[in-house]
Amino acid sequence: MRILVTGGAGFIGSHLCEKLLNQGHDVLCLDNFFTGSKDNIIHLMDNHRFELIRHDIIEPILLEVDQIYNLACPASPIHYQYNPVKTTKTSVMGTINMLGLAKRVRARILQASTSEVYGDPKISPQKEDYWGNVNCIGPRSCYDEGKRVAETLMMDYYRQNKVEIRIVRIFNTYGPRMALNDGRVVSNFIVQALKGEDITVYGDGSQTRSFCYVPDLVEGMIKMMNQEDFIGPANLGNPDEYTILDFAKKVKDFTGTKSKIIFKPLPQDDPMQRRPDITLAKEKLDWKPQVSLDEGLSKTVEYFKNRLKKDS
């Protein structure tokens, strides 16, 4: 198949491109390099089945493809809040453009949605039928509401135009190729620990997250795209839940650092608990994460060690 991956030069997108190429597909990687980087895909460049397109999905594009994975969108709070209007445009206009393309060329399209559609959830674990608790006027809204509209657009193109859609709600994912300046908790803590800097816990660290190792996630996304009778939304994530303070302690242990844990103000609307219920993904996709946090974390620490060595 010929497969388009938008956001393909990003953290998750680059792993997806690599896996699809390994499966024998032709891959078109589209990216505007806002948070993505050529470094993430440089190793794919001499594969003749790989093409790189510099393009911004808020502009239409015409391509002949069989499947579209729509990942283009900054995912880290510091990056999606840098230009919030652009973030909303990327999720809304970008998803309209990709759905228009899917409709025209009869491609199947998978939307990378997010656990953020649940906002600051009042129930835990979160199931797909929970409608969420989202502030539509806060600093996270450009991302949360943008992704919620993207889901709405997917469902309406499905009902109105019979476009073949799939929706996955991705929970916190980590692993090699996260950018050093990504700003999310896993990269921040590991980089701080490796540099011997203070580890910055926001709030009192009692908020929780559940961390999925990136190859597990990519496996789930591909399974979702290629099964026939379930459009989603489906949660994809690792249900092992940690408080952020415990996670900071874990990173300290893993790296053997002398860094101190310090506390900084909790950002506005920071969700207090997040843990996926993955019953649907288990039943419909026969998918569950295989990699424990310990295993994934040690590989990710290794990756950041090498990155820092290269940069110094």
Q: How many residues bind ligand NAD (CB under 6 A)?
A: 28
Positions touching ligand UDP (CB under 6 A) are: 76-77, 172, 184-185, 188, 200-202, 207, 209, 244, 267, 270
DSSP 72: -
DSSP state of 120: S
Rounded CA separation 56/218 (Å): 23
Which residue number, 110 or 285, has a Cβ lying nearer to ligand NAD? Answer: 110
Nearer to ligand UDP, 111 or 192 (CB): 192
270: left (phi over 0), alpha (psi -120 to 50) or beta: beta
Q: What are the distances in angstroms from CA 188 to CA 269, 272, 298?
A: 20, 19, 15
Cα–Cα distance for residue pair 51/37, rounded to 1 Å:
15
143 is catalytic: yes
Residue 112, binding choice from ligand NAD, ligand UDP, none, Cβ under 5 to 8 Å by partner class: ligand NAD
Q: Whose Cβ is closer to ligand NAD: residue 163's or residue 212's?
A: 212
Per the residue annotation, which of 69, 80, 143, 174 is the catalytic one? Answer: 143
- Within 12-51, which residues bind ligand NAD (CB under 6 A)? 12-13, 31-36
Q: Of residues 55-74, which lie at the interface with ligand NAD (CB under 6 A)?
A: 56-58, 71-74
- Give the binding range for ligand NAD (CB under 6 A) out of 131-139, 154-162, 168-176, 253-261: 168-176
- The distance from CA 229 to its chain's CA centroid, rounded to whole angstroms, is 24
Which one, 69 or 189, has the nearer CB to ligand UDP? Answer: 189
Q: At closest approach, how far in Å is the CB of 297 from ligand NAD?
A: 15
Residue 283 burial by Cβ neighbours in a 10 Å radius (0-12, 13-18, 19+): exposed
Around Cβ 136, how many Cβ atoms within 10 Å?
A: 9
Are 185 and 244 within 8 A, CB to CB?
A: yes
Tell me the angle at which helices 214-226 and 11-22 cross, rounded to the nearest 10 degrees.
Answer: 60
For the four alpha carbons of 163, 289, 184 and 275, in that order, the dihedral sign comes to: positive
Question: Shortest approach of ligand UDP to residue 117 CB, angstroms?
Answer: 12
Shortest distance (Å) from residue 209 CB to ligand UDP = 5
Q: Which of 3, 4, 10, 296 binds ligand NAD (CB under 6 A)?
A: 10
Which active-site residues does the annotation give? 143
Binding region for ligand NAD (CB under 6 A): 6-7, 9-13, 31-36, 56-58, 71-75, 90, 94, 112, 114, 170, 172-173
